[in-house]
């Protein structure tokens, strides 16, 4: 299929090797023969007004059916839950093509690395793995090796793979997942590396097949993309503009999961609080959606990730109704300094964030709050870092994911001068992590003596005689219980607290909790 035809069929504006974008043309000219569609961060940044189209017509093209007969696939997933869920969709497509899954790279005929671009060390892990896989590829020349996910959306990554990792057979982007059958076919037919990365987001395709990894907990996408453009973050470029799924599609999916016996769903989006803003003609937000979902007979509903700016009163009011809406909120703050928040373009102040926390705590008194924090932002002063430390205590977070700022090419922050030495950044991270551990243990200790509901997920990682699961507040609990408790919510009396987990004794086994 030529480019024009593809653009016409898919309604996409793609950056190509011969596009008018000089940078792309220059970078890719050497590889022109092998490039189908290459990414451009500049194009990825554009936010068009055109309507998102919804499709329900995905089908495996006739000519590709049975492509996977006698072949096995392996997908390694890096990064966030969104990637985990994309892997479930790709696995669904592989199965529909007749491939079998394997969890051993040596048995695989196709290996995909579903990558994460959020920080440099995430990318380095992938490049390291690509290096390791070279030997396997030399042993098995018929093996297809592919790179997909967020890193594929970056021009610099695609260039690097084209130049250095010649044993890669295909690169495709986050908006091209539904094109997997065509991409595999091209890779089988062509001796050259197949690159298909659309910079502009695709439409929403509702009926992609998926194979969920577990039978107890499930991810449900409620929206794709992000329009927030925090100055450090690559996600708006790799995942495109915000597109919400229609409420009826989400409700139907959750109902279906409940009917299949799932005990928990986590609603996914890069910024779930912006849910619904793009739904033309509908005045409908995350609070409205949660208010409908809570009536479904499924024991637990969570959501991630929240942006404080869009966290509205309607959502708080609905979450306060409790029932199957869990009393844990992950609310990334990133910094406790209003000045740093401003440079990050987070669009809230320290005071506004604290006011939101106050409202949430007033409405949901038992809520567990967790967060994400970046330390060592360009030019972050000692005082500004101290404001993060003091905010951490003031909120009383129960856990945090903490990161040293990592410049991402193409983002505004990557152009900022930075006068904070790496040693200072590391010291700040260490001090913050000590505080995180201290408050985590404190929060854990408060559970000792309480009897809590635990959704048992399976055997504990370290001891198969012990089962492990999570409380409503998302605390990991280890408990001795019969294997029949796996997949059920049981009552556990907490006996002992550690920094990252609780130990307890089973009190009684429960039927799935009743939902009001």
Binding site for ligand SF4 (CB under 6 A): 226, 228-230, 233, 235-236, 270-271, 307
Q: Rank residues 233 and 326 by Cβ distance to ligand 5AD and give the closer one.
A: 233
Query: CB–CB of 273/329 below 8 Å?
Result: no
Which candidate, 432, 346, 333, places its Cα nearest to that of 382? 432
CA atoms 242, 246, 247, 253: torsion sign: negative
Q: Is the CB of 37 or the CB of 334 nearer to ligand SF4?
A: 334
403 touches which of ligand SF4, ligand 5AD, none (CB within 5 to 8 A by kind)? ligand 5AD
271 binds, among ligand SF4, ligand 5AD, none (CB under 5 to 8 A by kind): ligand SF4
Task: Please identify which residue in the block is written with the tokens 């009826």.
Answer: 248
Q: In angstroms, what is the minimal distance from the CB of 379 to ligand 5AD?
A: 15
Q: In which region does residue 244 sit, left (phi positive, over 0), alpha (psi from -120 to 50) or beta (all else)?
A: beta
Q: How far is the CB of 376 from ligand 5AD (least distance, A)?
A: 9
Angstrom distances, CA of residue 107 to CA of 38, 66, 409, 505: 30, 19, 36, 42
Least distance in Å: CB of 92 to ligand SF4?
Answer: 25
Nearer Cβ to ligand 5AD, position 179 or 346? 346
The two three-digit tokens of residue 486, written as one number: 């796996």
Q: How far is the CB of 245 from ligand 5AD (least distance, A)?
A: 21
Q: Could you say which of ligand SF4, ligand 5AD, none residue 374 binds, taking C-beta under 5 to 8 angstroms by partner kind?
A: ligand 5AD
Kindly provide the residue ranges of all beta strands, DSSP E only, lying in 168-246, ordered along the sequence.
Answer: 170-172, 194-196, 204-205, 217-221, 223-224, 243-244
Listed residue (177, 234, 185) closest to 202, CA to CA? 177
- Residue 226 binding: pick among ligand 5AD, ligand SF4, none (C-beta 5-8 Å cut-off by kind): ligand SF4
Cα 132 from chain centre:
25
Residue 405 touches which of ligand 5AD, ligand SF4, none (Cβ within 5-8 Å per kind)? ligand 5AD
Residue 468 in contact with residue 460, Cβ under 8 Å? yes
Nearer to ligand 5AD, 303 or 403 (CB): 403
State the nearest-atom distance from the C-beta of 306 to ligand SF4, in Å: 9
The rounded distance, in Å, linking the Cα atoms of 81 and 173 is 17
CA triple 327-330-331, angle to 5 deg: 120
Judge contact between 361 and 367, C-beta under 8 A: yes
* Complex with ligand SF4: residue 82 or 454, whichever CB lies closer: 82
452 binds, among ligand SF4, ligand 5AD, none (CB under 5 to 8 A by kind): none
If you search the block for the tokens 């790799």, which residue do you land on? 238
- Is the separation of the CB atoms in 97 and 69 below 8 Å? no
- C-alpha span between 403 and 333 (Å, rounded): 12
What's the order of all strands across the beta sheet hosting 194-196?
Answer: 35-37, 194-196, 170-172, 144-149, 110-115, 72-77, 100-101
Q: Please state, in angstroms and rounded to a whole number, the distance separating the CA atoms of residues 130 and 506.
A: 45
Smallest gap from Cβ 70 to ligand 5AD, in A, equals 40
Q: Closest approach of Cβ 174 to ligand SF4, in Å?
A: 13
- Report the SS3 class of residue 432: helix
Q: Which CB sits closer to ligand 5AD, 172 or 403?
A: 403
Closest distance between ligand 5AD and the C-beta of residue 127, in Å? 17
Please choose which of ligand SF4, ligand 5AD, none residue 406 contacts, taking the beta carbon within 5 to 8 angstroms, the exact cut-off set by kind.
Answer: ligand 5AD
Question: In the block, which residue shows the tokens 């910079």?
Answer: 199
Report the residue number, 182 or 270, with the smaller CB distance to ligand 5AD.
270
Minimum CB distance to ligand 5AD, residue 331 (Å): 10
Indicate the residue among 182 and 231 with the shorter CB distance to ligand 5AD: 231
Give contact residues for ligand 5AD (rule: CB under 6 A).
118-119, 232-233, 332, 334, 372, 374, 403, 405-406, 408
CB of 211 to ligand SF4, least distance (A): 26
Query: Of ligand SF4, ligand 5AD, none, which one sits near residue 306, judging by CB under 5 to 8 A according to partner kind?
Result: none
The nearest distance, CB 293 to ligand SF4, in angstroms, is 22
CA distances to 170, 224, 274, 308, 311 from 271, rounded to whole Å, are 30, 9, 6, 9, 10
Which CB atom, from 235 or from 494, has the smaller least distance to ligand SF4? 235
Closer CB to ligand 5AD, 172 or 405, in the complex: 405
Residue 328 contact among ligand 5AD, ligand SF4, none, beta carbon within 5 to 8 Å by kind? none
**Residue linked to tokens 């977070």:** 397
Residue 229 contact, options ligand 5AD, ligand SF4, none, Cβ 5-8 Å cut-off depending on partner type = ligand SF4
CB 479 within 8 A of CB 506: yes
């Amino acid at each position: 299929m030529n480019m024009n035809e593809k653009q016409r069929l898919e309604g996409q504006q793609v950056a190509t090797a011969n596009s008018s974008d000089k940078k792309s043309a220059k970078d890719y000219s050497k590889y022109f023969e092998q490039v189908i569609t290459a990414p451009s961060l500049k194009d990825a940044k554009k936010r068009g007004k055109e309507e998102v189209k919804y499709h329900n017509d995905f089908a495996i093209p006739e000519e590709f059916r049975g492509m996977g007969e006698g072949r096995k696939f392996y997908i390694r997933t890096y990064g966030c839950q969104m990637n985990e869920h994309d892997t479930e969709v790709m696995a669904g497509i592989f199965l529909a093509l007749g491939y079998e899954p394997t969890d051993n790279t040596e048995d695989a005929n196709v290996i995909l690395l579903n990558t994460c671009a959020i920080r440099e060390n995430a990318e380095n892990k992938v490049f390291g793995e690509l290096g390791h896989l070279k030997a396997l590829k030399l042993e098995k020349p018929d093996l297809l090796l592919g790179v997909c996910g967020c890193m594929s959306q970056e021009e610099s990554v695609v260039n690097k793979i084209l130049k250095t990792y010649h044993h890669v057979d295909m690169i495709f982007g986050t908006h091209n997942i539904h094109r997997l059958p065509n991409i595999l076919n091209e890779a089988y037919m062509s001796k050259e590396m197949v690159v298909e990365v659309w910079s502009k987001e695709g439409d929403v395709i509702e009926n992609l097949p998926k194979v969920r990894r577990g039978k107890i907990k499930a991810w449900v996408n409620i929206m794709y993309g992000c329009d927030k453009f925090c100055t450090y973050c690559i996600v708006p470029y790799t995942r495109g503009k915000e597109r919400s799924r229609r409420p009826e599609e989400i409700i139907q999916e959750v109902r279906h999961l409940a009917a299949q016996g799932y005990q928990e769903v986590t609603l996914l989006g890069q910024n779930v609080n912006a849910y619904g803003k793009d739904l033309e003609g509908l005045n409908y937000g995350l609070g409205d959606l949660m208010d409908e979902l809570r009536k479904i007979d499924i024991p637990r509903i969570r959501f991630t990730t929240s942006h404080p700016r869009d966290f509205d009163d309607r959502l708080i009011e609905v979450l306060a109704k409790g029932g199957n809406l869990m009393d844990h909120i992950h609310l990334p703050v990133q910094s406790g300094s209003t000045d740093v928040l401003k440079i990050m373009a987070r669009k809230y102040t320290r005071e506004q964030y604290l006011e939101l926390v106050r409202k949430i705590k007033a409405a949901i008194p038992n809520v567990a709050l967790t967060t994400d924090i970046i330390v060592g932002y360009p030019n972050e002063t000692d005082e500004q870092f101290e404001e993060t430390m003091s905010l951490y205590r003031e909120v009383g977070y129960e856990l945090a994911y903490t990161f040293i700022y990592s410049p991402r090419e193409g983002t505004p922050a990557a152009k900022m001068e930075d006068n904070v030495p790496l040693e200072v950044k590391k010291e700040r991270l260490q001090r913050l992590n000590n505080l995180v551990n201290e408050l985590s243990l404190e929060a854990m200790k408060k559970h000792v003596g309480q009897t809590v509901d635990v959704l048992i997920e399976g055997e504990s990682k370290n001891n198969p005689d012990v089962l492990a699961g999570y409380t409503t507040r998302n605390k990991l609990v280890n408990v001795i219980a019969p294997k029949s408790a796996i997949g059920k919510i049981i009552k556990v009396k907490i006996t002992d607290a550690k920094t990252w987990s609780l130990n307890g004794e089973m009190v009684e086994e429960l039927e799935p909790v009743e939902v009001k």
